[in-house]
A = this chain, B = another copy of it.
Amino acid sequence: MTQFSNVTVIKQANVYDGGKVTSRVIQFADGSRKTLGIMLPGEYSFSTAAAELMEILAGELEVQLPGSELWLAIKGGESFEVPANASFNLKVTTLVDYCCSYYD
């Protein structure tokens, strides 16, 4: 799926880490939501409320999933899931274009 049709886009961006991570919210007719975002190179820790599917559209990063010591290499075309109410760490090594789906 290269585009999302019949959606609502929130105009204002979400800005994190001084602009190194930015995203916009997409709302679907069924009430579900995703964010489309950009991460610049850097190290980040994120916490989830809802469970998430992080789909990497382009770029490269390593992820340390909740409760794991392991760093997994992930690149464009790959994805990973994070459970609800958890935190995970990222080492982003190139610009990363991503789509995050939330499972409320």
A interface secondary structure, majority: strand
Interface size, chain A (Cβ < 8 Å): 28
- Please report the C-alpha to C-alpha distance between residue A40 and residue B99 in the assembled complex, in whole angstroms: 21
Q: Say which residue of B6, B10, B13 sits within 8 Å of A3 (CB atoms).
A: B10
Number of copies: 2
Nearest-neighbour CB distance to chain B for A56, whole angstroms, equals 12
Contact with B along A75-104 (1 / 0, CB 8 A): 000000000000000000001010100000
User: Would you give the shortest CB distance from A21 to chain B, in whole angstroms?
Assistant: 10
Which A residues are within 8 Å of any B CB, using their own CB?
A: 1-13, 15, 18-19, 22, 24, 26-27, 36, 38, 40, 57-58, 95, 97, 99
